[in-house]
Chain A
């Protein structure tokens, strides 16, 4: 079945540092890939997405590129801020998801803490 593996956390960085959170996936066919962010005490929000190979999703300075050859969707940001402290989830939606509840398959989540 479909699965998503994220780098283990927690990750602690200083403000303005470069961020990479690794995400790899296993899926049948060509899934859509997502990064969701969960700020403290809140629900998940879509951060960015990519629906086909070589697509780059971007939002709020974050980027991720859909790499089919390495089955990866790593999240990057060039200069993190304290306000980026949150839990980040990589997720996929398989091509057959409409027949199985449009289910999102999530990774374990990576806690990011950015210190001033």
Chain B
């Protein structure tokens, strides 16, 4: 089954404690991205990757890092989480640019105390 998986699905942590949210896709997609979803703001892109070792900032990259060492994985790293990073996070991937269709993971709900 074609899918995008994220782990963990839920996480409660404290300010300053480094964490990583993993994202993996099994569709051999080149393009992957991270979004955060906040009430009244819709989804905003954090980082994206056009291919292995190619990453770039989206609209709200501050406080986040990413890496793309393998095509299937695109982890999101919060080196020093703060309460304003409490949000719902989605990973997405896309194959052929002509299809315009992005596939989203189930989401990770992060709470930073």
Listed in ascending order, the chain A residues whose CB lies under 8 Å from chain B are 4, 32, 34, 36, 41-46, 49, 51, 89, 93, 98, 101-104, 106-109
Contacts and interface: CB of A to CB of B under 8 A. Distances in A.
Given A41-B106, A43-B90, A102-B48, A49 B42 contact: no
A21 B59 CA distance: 26
Interface stretch (B67-75, B79-87, B94-102): B94-102
Q: Is the interface of B mostly helix, strand, loop or mixed?
A: strand
Given A43-B107, A89-B43, A107-B42, 11 more contacts: A4-B42, A41-B106, A43-B105, A45-B104, A46-B101, A46-B102, A101-B50, A103-B33, A103-B48, A104-B45, A106-B42
Interface string B38-75: 00111111001010000010110000000000000000
Contacts, number: 57
A8 to B, nearest CB: 9
B53 to A, nearest CB: 15
B94 A102 contact: yes
A93 B100 contact: yes
Q: How large is the interface on B (under 10, 10 to 19, 20 to 34, 35 or more residues)?
A: 20 to 34
A43 B50 CA distance: 21
Contacts of A44: 43, 90, 92, 104
B97 A101 contact: no
Contacts of B31: 102
Contact of A32 (B4, B100, B106): B100
Most buried by B among A49, A89, A104, A107: A104
B104 A98 contact: no
A79 to B, nearest CB: 26
Contacts of B33: 101-103
